[in-house]
Structures are given as structure tokens and as C-alpha cells.
Amino acid sequence: MTLTVWGRKTSSNVQALMWCIGELGLDHVRHDIGHIHGGNDTPEFLAMNPNGTVPVLRDGDGPALWETGAILRYLAGRYGPDSFWPADPLRRAEIDKWAEWAKINITLNFTGPVFWRVVRTAPSMQDPVAITAALEALIRFLRIANARLERQAFLGGEDFTLADIQFGHVLYRYFDIDIARPDLPHIDRYYAALSERPAFADHVMVSYDALRATD
């Protein structure tokens, strides 16, 4: 059965979904929706997702699913191996704990507070003080991940899991944009390993020039 995805490839949430699809080797079709492509305010799209946000996913002729975390859990539960999304409730909760932690503390502290201020704000309008403060808040949590990755290969343990999708999908932009980064050697090692994964390279290491603001 083929998955259908609605969402532009430059959306970090779409990238997380597509990376998961790639890791699981699932057949899919993706339609560019949102930002310069438009289409997310049409009656047809709003009938699938009244929020007008991407991504949206249909699995075959199933219902439209939205909210990235919910979609990822659905795919992991239906198609993922036990190492990626354990069947045992306690082991699964351990992975889910770190997936939620990454979404709340890494993605939300990076995408709006840092990436939008550095890339999606015109240089003449940027606020260096606000960027520095946002980075300090983000780095506090990155240090937690760095300490954890000192002891194990991946965020959830020795296996690549859904938690790594939620954590790792913003790291390409974190390492690529022009910001001051502290020495976090275990995250450096982790990011280098993610960069070797074909699905990460295909769906996450994507140009964001279309999002860049200019004066």
C-alpha cells in the first residue's frame, strides 16, 4: 500500500516524516504543499486538516492523519521493527519519553527561536541579543543529549529509534547555519553518524534557501 504525503520538502516537520518513511522503506508519493507552493488553504486540503498545516498523511485509502508526532507513532507502530518502536509498553514509553523530550526541548527551542531569527528574518531585522539568549536556552538541553550520547550510540539506547527522528531532524540546520556552537563532541559524533544514513541525507540534508529572508 502506498503512503501519500502532503507537505513541502523544506518543512522540518515534513522532513521528520519523510526521514521516517525512508528509514522504514515505505512506498510513498509526496505533494509539495505550503509556503511558496500554496495549496494548504484550499477547501480540499482543509477538509483533510482544518489547521492548514503540513504534513498530512494518508495510508492507502485510510483517514487523513496530521500532527507530525502522531503520524510518526502510527508509522512506527504499523511498520517499524521492535528495535525502532518496541511492543513492550515500558520499553516503548522509554523511547517515547525521549521523542517527546526532543520535540519539546530541542525542536521548539531551535526552529522558531533560532532558525527563524537567523534564516527567516532579514539580516537588517535580526536581533543578536535575542539569538544569543535563544541559543543559551537550546544549548542547555543539547548538553543533556550530549551527556546521554556519551554513554550510548543513539538517544534511546544502542538502537536507532523514533526518538532519533524527533531529535535528529533539526541537526542538519543546527550545524549548517551561521551561529556559535559549543563543543559538544558526542553530538558531533552522533550527527556524523546520522549524516551517513541514506534516508537522512535524502530527506533532511535539504537546501533551505527558499526560506531565507533578504533585505
Chain segment 41-74, per-residue pLDDT in tens: 999 999 999 999 999 999 999 999 999 999 999 9
Q: Which pLDDT score is estimated for 124?
A: 96
Q: Which pLDDT score is estimated for 43?
A: 97
Architecture of domain 89-202: Up-down Bundle (1.20)
Mean pLDDT of 7-36: 97
pLDDT, the chain, mean:
97
pTM greater than the 0.95 cutoff: yes
- Sheet of strand 65-66, all strands in order from the earlier edge strand to the far edge: 28-31, 3-6, 56-59, 65-66
For the chain, domain boundaries: 3-79, 89-202
CATH topology of domain 3-79: Glutaredoxin (3.40.30)
Residue 115 pLDDT class (50, 70, 90 cuts):
very high
Residue 215 pLDDT class (50, 70, 90 cuts):
confident
Cβ-proximal residues to 88 (8 Å cutoff; 6+ apart), any chain: none
| Long-range contact pairs involving 152-160 (C-beta distance under 8 Å, separation at least 24) | 153/190, 153/193, 154/190, 155/98, 155/102, 156/94, 156/95, 156/98, 157/94, 159/83, 159/84, 160/23, 160/83, 160/84, 160/197
Mean pLDDT of 147-174: 98
Does residue 184 carry a pLDDT above 90? Answer: yes
